[in-house]
Structure 1
């Protein structure tokens, strides 16, 4: 019997795959590899460049609802945070405590769905990366409290010569194809385990 598996990827430009000449990003790579492994699925990339957790919280339901008809195996992947930690006039766009509240509220609203959360990745800015690493810890705590799987990619990517080289060669934030290969490889085992639930 056909399993109508549908996955919405909601988040920012990293979800959207900005910088990838293959136009897949990590979400597209996961989908392609899943399909190639014998699991048909429908994915929707709802990444919007420059958006914060506050903006994503405000739009996720209206965007996902029409893509999740009754009877489908509807699932949600969430990834955001880098735009929250961007400093404007000496302050982050969204305070870390508010970012954590936003994630917690989104998980509460999505409580009926299987959810997977992917950590915000590093960029070519050490100070912002430090703020994002702190946010990563907050997000891990929120997901643990909600018993939602959380994929810790921030530190592995900071230690990845490929990711950091590609970010520096690009716009200072987004990698090229090899960088997205790295990110999708980190997420893949967690994704497969999550899909099997």
Structure 2
């Protein structure tokens, strides 16, 4: 049976999903209904930046893959775009400078492309009225702006296009999803509830990029 590794941070992990399924679990259930079953590994770790994900991504995928038709779904996440207080006087600065984040992304995509085919999606939208978000991992307040997440997604998309890696603009797609946005408002503003993750799973399933990989 085909194996799929789902890499990312808290959104891939499914933080906020009351059913504890996250997008990967919900996608697996959707595909089971079509008899297109696969083994899924949720490798999301909340709070991690691209650099931190890079430290484990390749080895975790290699440990699980058995066939050339296995593949990776990678969520770029939002953590690199988090605004944190830094310096004296305190200013709100990005957790990772934009150029460094894009370099880290390109390096990781190069490494993962050597292991298996890839499907990538960008950061999800936030409900700015509910932020900043207190991280229980770092005990720090993180703020996020949709304008930054959207522009970052555009840059990720351009890199993927240059590398011939399929990309889903999840920020754009979910901004138009009533269920996802309502789930953000009902939760912490950064992570949606189960209905939001269901919307994500349906977007991935309907993507021709996903269909091409899962049916290969």
TM-score of the pair, normalised by structure 1: 0.91
Counterpart position of 2:194: 177
CA distance in 2, matches of 1:19, 1:42: 23
1:102 to 95, 98, 104: 104
CA contact (8 A) 1:124 1:172 kept: yes
Question: In the alignment, is residue 7 of structure 1 matched against residue 4 of structure 2?
Answer: yes
CA-to-aligned-CA distance 1:85-115 (integer Å, 9 cap, x gap): 1101211111222222122111211223110
1:84 to 80, 96, 107: 80
Question: In the alignment, is residue 73 of structure 1 matched against residue 76 of structure 2?
Answer: no
Q: What is the number of equivalent residue pairs in this alignment? A: 193
Question: In the alignment, is residue 120 of structure 1 matched against residue 123 of structure 2?
Answer: yes
Q: Which moved more, 1:110-119 or 1:185-194?
A: 185-194
CA RMSD of aligned residues (A): 1.6
1:155 to 162, 172, 179: 172
SS in 2 for 1:9: strand
CA distance in 2, matches of 1:150, 1:194: 13
CA distance in 1, matches of 2:159, 2:153: 10
SS in 2 for 1:84: helix
CA distance in 2, matches of 1:148, 1:160: 25
CA distance in 1, matches of 2:70, 2:214: 11
Unaligned segments of structure 1, at least 5 residues: none
CA distance in 2, matches of 1:59, 1:163: 29
CA distance in 2, matches of 1:81, 1:91: 18
SS in 2 for 1:44: strand
CA contact (8 A) 1:119 1:153 kept: yes
CA contact (8 A) 1:119 1:152 kept: yes
Unaligned segments of structure 2, at least 5 residues: 86-91, 130-143
CA distance in 1, matches of 2:37, 2:172: 32
CA-to-aligned-CA distance 1:7-51 (integer Å, 9 cap, x gap): 100001110111111111111111122222112311100000111
